[in-house]
A and B are shown apart, each in its own frame.
Chain A
Amino acid sequence: MKFNIFRSHDDRGSGDPTQTPRMGGHVLPAARSDGPDGPTADAVEPTDATAGPALQPRPAEPLGPIKIRARDVSVHYGDKQALHDVSVDIPDKTVTAFIGPSGCGKSTFLRCLNRMNDTIPSARVTGRIEMDGQDVNSKSVDPVLLRAQVGMVFQKPNPFPKSIYENVAYGPRIHGLTTSKADLDGVVEKSLRRAGLWDEVADRLHSPGTGLSGGQQQRLVIARAIAVEPEVILMDEPCSALDPIATAKIEELIDELREQYCIVIVTHSMAQAARVSQRTAFFHMGRLVETGNTEEIFTNPRERRTLDYITGRFG
């Protein structure tokens, strides 16, 4: 029953619950369990011994150390409070998904993590956010340096109207990360390779980045973020403007990037959250309702509202 609910939100698959769910192009073990009991919560239990290689390491395995610690974070836009006392721990080398109905403050919270809310004059952030124990809102932290440490990918791919090369090279250049042209070339190639875009664009590095397809643009934007060698990558609905195939590629990429980065992804697709994340945080009406390991949230949520949301009763 729970499995079916889970599957019914898959924005990529057919409605057939017996079809093999995919994650990042790899076969998930889920469909295997259509035994006499029918699909059960067990089916998505990633601790399942026969799980595909893509899910290494298992979410149930110990997560990385806490990278970001948020305590009582509230955000006001003018007089309106958009976020109420959010406290959450975000582990390193893990994908954390923020889910919740639109307007519930997911993006707002995400933007607190790299102080992008500073750029909105009416926004006021209170509470404490620590990254590696350091308060990101303290006077001693320069938001410009913080953003070099915390990359961000937006909903709509937003490459600069410059060449592919220039897009990727921009970050290292402004931060002075490279010393020579060859060095920069290397960084560009490495970043594009890591974003899985190199093979597609190697022969046209100097053609406009805006000429790529939507999915390629989004991977270019990810490469651009990676090029600055951040520790955290924030993604705000990175696939909502993409087709299913491009989405699958991005999800695969996110899964690979998890080994090196702390990734936070906002998504409105519950299936996506289930596919790519190990931790899930459910937001509702500006409050953090529940956090937990992804399979727990999806199979056995503690809160009624979470269950209602993931079963599609509202949102």
Chain B
Amino acid sequence: MTDALAPTTADRAARLQKGLRRRYARERRFQLYGLLAIGVAVGFLVLLLGRIWTQGNTAFWAHEAAIPVYMDPARIDPAYPQGTNFPQMVAEQQLARLGVTDDAAGRASTEMRQIFSSELKFVAGDMIKADPSLIGRTVTVTAPLSDDADLFFKGEIGRDTPEEQRRVTDRQIGWLDRLQDDGFVKRTFNGRMFTSGDSTEPELAGVLGAVVGSALMLLVTALLAIPIGVAAAIWLEEFAPRNRLSAFIEVNINNLAAVPSIVYGLLGLALFINWMQLPRSSPLVGGLVLALMALPTIIIATRSSLKAVPPSIREAALALGASKTQTVFQHVLPLALPGVMTGAIISMAHALGETAPLLLIGMVSFVPGVATSVAEPTGALPSLIYIWENASERAFHERTAAAIMVLLALMIVMNAAAIVLRRRFERRW
């Protein structure tokens, strides 16, 4: 009896062993695939971020000139200092200092002027306006270098490039070297990137206008889409009768979530700008369009988190004599809140990065300055990136990457907020 059993037992064990080995091998293989997939994803991400960083990190630094300027009383009208051609005055003084004589056409002074940013005029003008006693004295004026001079110091414009192929002449290079040797050139943090609006001069351009525009737009979007979306989801999920109409609505909300964003842009153009005559390029219109776009996503996210609340909680409240509304608002919604908030924030982050609809409602036009209300024209971060990327000045390229970094940073902050909120509220058992 035992003899008859023994081989079968051994056989069975061997077979089990073999099956087990195969099972483990399969598991290891699967884990390997998973690791590979994650590796590829992380690799691409690193590549993308690395490229943005290498292209954009230089934009956070800028070279500026701090040069002694003789505030020539012969050229400055104390009653109207801003009328003075300070750049020409400074250029001539620098040429004199370097012992260069200007020709009749003023070619040397023009080239010298090009070294400095046009901002020089306003910096000097403001100094005189603030303190007219400076006239007749020599003071240090600090102003940005022009974008080309800045790029030269950053090494983006090579000395070895033939002169006709670069935007800085040999003569300008010589002068820039002298300025640097004399200690007039400083490398500083480019605060303008964060404190000014868009500008046609790259060295003066900043993302603030676009950040404020995007923020105002998101404000409009959030104020509209979140309450309406959550309310609609609550009604559909908790109160709507289950009939053909509600099934039809449900299907169409899912369809709307899949509509390409450019279509929403067209709708916004027709509805808000052409028909309702709302101001073009304004955060109000942008926010309205993005709200339309975010609505289906918020409704779907809210409904699924409402659905995830166990029915036993609803039964408990109803059986105690709570009304339907009390049940929903006192028990179901609080439990669904983490999911609702995550959905809302993620759809806001999507809205922040949305570009296509903005193209159609005129948000890609050049808007200097910073909007102070939702009805003023403004740019937005994604459209600023689009504008800068298409600009001809080379200095805008690094700024494009910097603007992308700002946009990504804002998105990371929003997504982190979603995670933190989720954790916070889920901890309430």
Interface residues of A (CB under 8 A from B): 114, 116, 119, 121, 144-148, 151-152, 154, 156, 158-161, 170-171, 174-175, 208, 210-211, 221, 224-225, 228
Contact B316 A145 (CB under 8 A): no
**Proximity bits, B342-382, A CB within 8 Å = 1, else 0:** 00000000000000000000000000000000000000000
A213 to nearest B CB, angstroms? 15
* Whole-angstrom CA separation of A105 from B326 in the bound complex: 29
Partner of A154, one of B316, B322, B331, B428: B316
Distance in angstroms between the alpha carbons of A236 and B331 in the assembled complex: 22
Q: Is the CB of B318 within 8 A of A145?
A: no
Decide: A152 near B323, CB < 8 A? Known: A121-B242, A158-B313.
no
Report the nearest A residue to B314, measured CB to CB. A119
Q: Are B242 and A147 in contact (CB under 8 A)?
A: no
- Given contacts A160-B331, A161-B428, whether A228 and B316 have CB atoms under 8 Å apart is no
Further pairs besides A154-B312, A156-B312: 8, Cβ < 8 Å: A114-B319, A119-B315, A119-B318, A146-B321, A147-B321, A171-B321, A208-B429, A221-B316
Give CA–CA (A168, B263) in the complex, Å: 52
The reply to whether B321 and A174 form a contact with Cβ atoms under 8 Å apart is: yes
Task: Judge if B74 is at the interface, Cβ distance under 8 Å.
Answer: no
User: In the assembled complex, which residues on chain B have CB atoms less than 8 Å from the CB atom of A156?
Assistant: 312
Closest to A145 in B: B321
- Closest chain A CB from B64 CB (angstroms): 59
- In the bound complex, do residue B313 and residue A175 qualify as a contact, i.e. CB atoms below 8 Å apart? no
Residues from chain A with Cβ under 8 Å of B315 in the complex? 116, 119, 152, 154, 158
**Does B316 contact A211, Cβ atoms closer than 8 Å?**
no
Q: Say whether, besides A121-B241, A154-B312, A154-B316, A161 and B429 are in contact (CB < 8 Å).
A: yes
Complex contact A147–B429 (CB within 8 A) = no
Binary contact readout B307-334 vs A (1 if CB under 8 angstroms, 0 otherwise): 0001011111111111100100001000
Contact B316 A161 (CB under 8 A): no
B335 at the interface (CB under 8 A from A): yes
A284 to B310 alpha-carbon distance, docked (Å) = 30
Find the B residue at minimum CB distance from A227: B320
Inside 8 A of B313's CB, which chain A residues have their CB?
158, 160-161
Considering the complex, give the chain A residue whose CB is closest to the CB of B319.
A152
Q: B429 and A211: CB pair below 8 A?
A: yes
A-B contacts, 9 of them at CB < 8 A, read A119-B314, A119-B318, A144-B323, A148-B321, A151-B320, A152-B315, A154-B312, A224-B316, A224-B320
Q: Is the CB of A147 within 8 A of B335?
A: no
Q: Measured between alpha carbons, how far is A171 from B323 in the docked complex, in Å?
A: 11
Chain A residues with Cβ below 8 Å from B314 are: 119
Collect the chain B residues with CB atoms within 8 Å of residue A148's CB.
320-321
Q: How far is the CB of A111 from chain B (nearest CB, A)?
A: 9
Closest 3 CB pairs of A and B: A148-B321, A152-B319, A158-B312
Judge whether A159 and B319 touch: CB under 8 Å: no
A301 to B331 alpha-carbon distance, docked (Å): 45
Q: Does A174 contact B312, Cβ atoms closer than 8 Å?
A: no
In the complex, are the beta carbons of A159 and B316 less than 8 A apart? yes
Can you list, as one digit per residue, whether each of B388-429 has a CB less than 8 Å from chain A (1) or not (0)? 000000000000000000000000000000000000000011
Bound-complex Cα distance A158 to B320 (A) = 12
- Which A-chain residue is minimally distant from B243 (CB atoms)? A121
Question: What A residues does B316 contact at CB under 8 A?
Answer: 154, 158-160, 221, 224
Nearest B residue to A149 via CB reads B321
Residue of A nearest to B320 (CB): A171
Chain B nearest CB from A230 CB (Å) reads 9
Question: In the complex, which residues of chain B have a beta carbon less than 8 angstroms from the beta carbon of A151?
Answer: 319-320
* CB <8 Å contact, A210 and B429: yes
Task: Give A146's nearest chain B residue, CB to CB.
Answer: B321
Residues on A with beta carbons closer than 8 Å to the beta carbon of B318: 116, 119, 147
Tell whether, in the assembled complex, residue A161 and residue B320 are in contact, meaning their CB atoms are under 8 Å apart: no
Report B-chain residues with C-beta under 8 Å of the C-beta of A114.
319
Please name the residue on chain B nearest to A153 by beta carbon. Answer: B319
- Nearest opposing residue in chain B for A114, CB measure: B319
- Complexed CA–CA distance, A208 and B315 (Å): 19
Shortest beta-carbon distance from A9 to chain B in Å = 28
Most buried by A among B241, B317, B320, B429: B320
Q: Verify A174–B326 contact, CB threshold 8 A.
A: yes
The smallest C-beta distance from B82 to any residue of chain A, in angstroms, reads 66
| In contact, B320 and A147 (Cβ under 8 angstroms) | yes
Could you say which residues of chain A place their CB within 8 Å of the CB of B319? 114, 116, 147, 151-152, 154, 225
Complex CA gap A66/B428 in Å reads 44
User: In whole angstroms, what is the CA distance A119 to B310 when docked?
Assistant: 15
CB neighbours (8 Å) of B321 from chain A are 144-148, 171, 174-175, 228
Q: Say how far B398's CB is from chain A's closest CB, in angstroms.
A: 52
The reply to whether A174 and B429 contact each other, CB–CB distance below 8 Å, is no
Instruction: Provide the residues of chain B in CB contact with A119, threshold 8 Å.
Output: 314-315, 318
